[in-house]
Amino acid sequence: METIRRINPGEVNVGESLLWPVYDIEKALLLKQGTVVRSEKQLQIILEKGIYRGLSDVEVVEEEKKEEEKNVE
């Protein structure tokens, strides 16, 4: 995993399984994919800490296109 992006608050909900593994800014694994966030307090703690996930294949392609566009300008 080379590229990560910050997870937005609306992407993680109490009582739902995580759709992806969650990392800190240094790419250390914090929570495995499928982990259920059990309380609002737990959700707030992890969001305040700053959580990240790897990009999907589609997101990687989109990021590469954006980078190419920046280089052209």
Residue 56 has pLDDT above 70, yes or no: yes
DSSP 26-58: T--EEE-TTPBP--HHHHHHHHHH--EEEPPHH
Structural domains of the chain, with CATH: 4-72 (3.90.105)
The pTM of the full predicted model, rounded to 2 decimals, is 0.68
- Alpha-carbon distance of 19 to 41, in angstroms, equals 20
Confidence of residue 42 (pLDDT cuts 50, 70, 90): very high
Query: What would the mean pLDDT of 38-51 be, rounded to a whole number?
Result: 90
**Higher per-residue confidence, 34 vs 61:** 34
Query: What would the mean pLDDT of 57-70 be, rounded to a whole number?
Result: 81
pLDDT of residue 16: 93
